[in-house]
Amino acid sequence: MAFESLDLHPSLLPLLKENNYSSPTPIQLEAIPAILSQRDVLGIAKTGSGKTASFVLPILTLLQRLPKKEKNREIDVLVLVPTRELAVQVGDVFNAFGKVLPNPIKTMSVYGGVSINPQMKTMFGTNVLVATPGRLLDLISHNALELSKVRALILDEADKMLNLGFQDEMNEIFNLLPEIRQNLLFSATLSKDLESIKNVLLDEPLIVKIESEANDIQSINLSGYFVTEDRKGPLLRYLIKKNEMDRVLVFTSSAQKADRVAAKLTKNGIDAFPIHGKKSQGARQSALEAFKTGKIKVLVATDLLSRGIDIEGLPFVINYELPRSPKDFIHRVGRTGRAGENGLAISFVDKEEIKHFKVILKKMKRYVEMVESDEFDLSGY
């Protein structure tokens, strides 16, 4: 099946070719026709399987079918995402595809950590708003926009958006939306909250589950190193140098640790930036940009970056510290091996953590031969 037979707006087709989208991914194949017929959709498909385009392409097509909209503060489509970086990324995909359409579509990404004034000033006439919940509510309280005419609500990383952390903000937002609307939920993983709310939120949805969660990361190679805390830094530098890794995303469990690991790498001649929630938005954006463009080899991140961020050609992810849950593990290691590329995810495991690592692996239905690193000569690293 080809994109040509999906009834997308014809102007999109040459652009898909240009971007090497030769055929729709399984989630795109299922979700696009359903969205075009204005059904609600719950789409579960693994990390890197093209979920973004599976809603961007049909939404843009539907918007083209509408009569030209008057310029006002009424948003047509609302996309909610958990992080600022993801807001930027999803907005970029709407803009990249939207630019070829005959009826111009205005997409804006809004998120906190930057001044609200420029966002307010440029909000007028926006069709598609990609937002983090907190900043969205701020903008609404400033009367910068209206949600009462929203036709479609999209939750990307839906399980995250519907978990406890966002609950109050989400409820506030739901109350401002019109009752009749299209609802689209996309996620790589399911949560209890998502399971329980889907019947409230969705109206006779198409439920697309491409692969079971456990099979999510089957195509990503996993390896594990036994290492004591004091040797993690040297081991990291040893692996990066020995394997000539020129692009690697390292995860730590705290902002302080991310800072420390990045500083140590830089001191040892490996260019690295930290990225986490305690950094200014400017610093976060420039770190991610420097990493994507290859100016720095290593990005040291907290779980802030585990959700949805698409970095082309990222062969390595290293868990300097293990994530708390199997779900976080899926999202972290899913930053590699995207769109069918190869990926290796390495985990550093302290002897006390092996039980936890085994729990994670069991959930993944994976087995990993642990490497003992005690004997590695790490002097000089």
Query: Contact residues for Mg ion (CB under 5 A)?
Result: 51, 308
| 51 touches ligand ADP by CB under 6 A | yes
| 47 touches ligand ADP by CB under 6 A | yes
For residue 318, list its beta bridge partners: 250, 346
Our CB check for ligand ADP shows the closer of 133 and 308 to be 308
> Two tokens at 65?
């079918």
107-110 and 128-131: which strand pairing? parallel
Site string (322-351) toward ligand ADP, x via CB under 6 A: ----------------xx------------
Our CB check for Mg ion shows the closer of 47 and 252 to be 47
Phi, psi of 290 (to 5 degrees): -60, -35
| 127 touches ligand ADP by CB under 6 A | no
Our CB check for ligand ADP shows the closer of 10 and 178 to be 10
Half-sphere exposure of 30 (CA within 13 A, CB side): 20
Residue whose C-alpha is closest to residue 139's, from 111, 166, 104: 111
Site string (6-25) toward ligand ADP, x via CB under 6 A: --------------xx--xx
Q: Which stretch binds ligand ADP (CB under 6 A): 41-49, 168-176, 197-205, 276-284?
A: 41-49
Residue 291 φ/ψ region, left for φ over 0, alpha for ψ in the -120 to 50 degree band, beta for the rest: alpha
| 225 touches ligand ADP by CB under 6 A | no
Considering only residues 256 to 285 of the shown chain, the ones binding ligand ADP according to CB under 6 A are none
List Cβ neighbours of 33 (8 Å cut-off, separation of 6 or more): 6, 7, 58
List Cβ neighbours of 122 (8 Å cut-off, separation of 6 or more): 108
Residue 132's binding partner out of Mg ion, ligand ADP, none, with CB under 5 to 8 Å set by partner kind: none
Residue 55's binding partner out of ligand ADP, Mg ion, none, with CB under 5 to 8 Å set by partner kind: none
Collapsed DSSP state (helix, strand, coil) of residue 16: helix
CB of residue 67 to Mg ion, shortest distance in Å: 31
| 133 touches ligand ADP by CB under 6 A | no
| Distance, CA of 261 to CA of 251 (rounded, Å) | 10
Q: Which stretch binds ligand ADP (CB under 6 A): 51-59, 111-119, 123-131, 272-280?
A: 51-59
| 109 touches ligand ADP by CB under 6 A | no
Our CB check for ligand ADP shows the closer of 52 and 373 to be 52
DSSP codes joined into one string, 287-316: HHHHHHTTSSSEEEE-GGGTSS---TT--E
DSSP codes joined into one string, 331-363: HHHTTSSGGG---EEEEEE-GGGHHHHHHHHHH
Considering only residues 283 to 312 of the shown chain, the ones binding ligand ADP according to CB under 6 A are 308, 310, 312
Amino acid at 94: F
Our CB check for ligand ADP shows the closer of 44 and 144 to be 44
| 80 touches ligand ADP by CB under 6 A | no
Helix (H) / strand (E) containing 107: strand 107-110
| 50 touches ligand ADP by CB under 6 A | yes
Query: For binding to ligand ADP (CB under 6 A), which residues are involved?
Result: 20-21, 24-25, 28, 45, 47-53, 308, 310, 312, 338-339
